[in-house]
Amino acid sequence: MYSFFHDSMIGILLLTVAETLAVLVPVLMCMAYATYFERKALAAFQLRKGPNRVGPFGLFQPFADAVKVFTKETIIPAGASRSLFLLAPMLTFVLACLAWAVIPVGDGWAVANINVGILYLFAISSLGVYGIIIAGWASNSKYAFLGAMRSAAQMVSYEVSIGFVLVTVMLCVGSLNLNDIVRAQGPGHFWFCFTLFPMFVVFLISMLAECNRAPFDLPEGESELVAGFFVEYSAMSFALFYLGEYTNMIMMSALASILFLGGWEAPFGLPGLPILWLFGKICFVMFFFFWVRATFPRYRYDQLMRLGWKVFLPLSLLWLVLTAGFLEFTGLLPNGAA
């Protein structure tokens, strides 16, 4: 049995497909319930009840929504670049799913436990902007185009500070492997959200901008741009954008948990399945997303750029240099896996 799955071509293929499904199916279920969680959380913040009609406590609402978008008509506007118009939502969704290949859900439990996992995640998240830009351009609509332009500038700006945050964490760990990063926060070590607190704050805020979430949801800013880059989309193509957005949010939450909250490691040596700890941490960061959305008004565009380039960039660069200096002079610089 073991040799079939690890040595024969068909076996490896089947095993890979099974592993992929084992990650993607729960992620998509989580995504469906993330929308429910968001609506319930926002409702609680605003003293409403939220979805409560479909099933007990409205628990089947995500499925009702799914059936609704499946059965609607896909409209392709005249003058749109047809192939690119259809490619954009698929690209967004596929990229959001691709990132999950390297997320460790337990010690060494990842579809691909690669040495440059953190760079892979960074690369995939920086590609996410293409779905938005292509959608904006292919729609042949000025609102969509403006949304796409905003998104491009915003994501490029905030990637810079996210990059510096990642480099700081890599310096402290001495490895680019996500599994090693989690292990570095294991028993007897502080989580990085304490030792690198300013970087944690920078990452949390940049994460909001990277996911185009409130208060940085300018690419879709409905008060100025109707719905921004996906204004022309309907039915399934719209649903793919929606899926991509939430999958990205869960992925960024997972990344925040892995980098700063100890990933699947339990705090204080508490018992419990590693995957459940990771799930709990992801839920906490997701709640942070909704909490911010319910609390803050939308940023103005120049304020967004100012925050990215004039506050976060110098701050994260300074903290990077400080961390490197501290590690060098205290002799704590990790040697890394040879």
Out of 127, 201, 315, 327, the only residue in the binding site for another protein (CB under 8 A) is 127
Cβ of 268: how many Cβ atoms within 10 Å?
A: 5
Note whether 98 binds another protein by CB under 8 A.
no
Comparison of 158 and 246: residue with beta carbon closer to another protein: 158
State the DSSP code for 309: I
Which region, judged by CB under 8 A, interacts with another protein, from 55-63, 153-161, 226-234, 260-268?
153-161
SS (H, E, C) 147-195: HHHHHHHHHHHHHHHHHHHHHHHHHHHCCCCHHHHHHCCCCCCCCHHHH
Out of 27, 86, 101, 176, the only residue in the binding site for another protein (CB under 8 A) is 176
Out of 46, 268, 302, 331, the only residue in the binding site for another protein (CB under 8 A) is 302
Report how many residues bind another protein under the rule CB under 8 A.
32
Torsion angle of the four alpha carbons 242, 245, 249, 254, in this order, in degrees rounded to the nearest 10: 100
Comparison of 119 and 320: residue with beta carbon closer to another protein: 119
Count of H helices and E strands in the chain?
14, 0
- Shortest separation between residue 126's beta carbon and another protein, angstroms: 3
Q: From CA 30, how far away is CA 334, in angstroms rounded?
A: 36
Which region, judged by CB under 8 A, interacts with another protein, from 47-55, 129-137, 256-264, 267-275?
129-137
Note whether 156 binds another protein by CB under 8 A.
yes
Note whether 78 binds another protein by CB under 8 A.
no
Establish whether the linkage from the previous residue to 219 is cis, with ω within 30° of 0.
Answer: no
Assigned token pair, 60: 């089947």
Which region, judged by CB under 8 A, interacts with another protein, from 55-63, 96-104, 156-164, 245-253?
156-164
Contact 128/135 with Cβ under 8 angstroms?
no
Residues that bind another protein (CB under 8 A): 9, 84, 114-116, 119-120, 122-123, 126-127, 129-130, 133-134, 137, 145, 148-149, 152-153, 155-156, 159, 163, 176, 302-303, 306, 336-338
